[in-house]
Amino acid sequence: MADVAIGTTVRAHYNSGTYIGEVKEDRGERYLIEVLAVDKHPIQGDLHNPGEVEGVFFHERKALAHHEKMNVKKPAVRPFDETIPPYNESLKQAVDNYKEKLKAEDTAFNEKALRTLEGLEEKYYEKSYY
């Protein structure tokens, strides 16, 4: 991918989530990006054993916060030229999209991931939605 300029709005994949943000620094192999919106919520569970719930540590992953900075590898960054949604709305939409995906198939993994996501929503996100 071609380099993007400081101040460019981008979509970036980071730690199993996808975010919309602004490039703040070029750090050689990576960009420092400020989070402005959530495009895809991070995946719950063990990334090294996808779909497994037995005998693995089931990770709870929160979405990055509004204005949080992330250090993203350059190949995971793409220019973004659409309207940036408000952070609160984007977080709720990303959570709702992930919940729908998990509800689409009845598996032990999806059930546990859904419970984990709902726990995050109750503990952290509901305050952010409004």
Tens digit of each residue's pLDDT (9 = 90 or more) over 24-48: 999 999 999 999 999 999 999 888 8
Alpha carbons within 13 angstroms on the beta-carbon side of residue 105 total: 8
Tens digit of each residue's pLDDT (9 = 90 or more) over 51-66: 778 877 888 999 999 9
Domains parsed from the chain with CATH numbers: 9-129 (2.30.30.430)
So what's the pLDDT on residue 2?
A: 64
Cα dihedral 123→87→10→100 (10° resolution): 60
| pTM, two decimal places | 0.92
So what's the pLDDT on residue 76?
A: 97
21, 34 contact by CB (below 8 A): yes
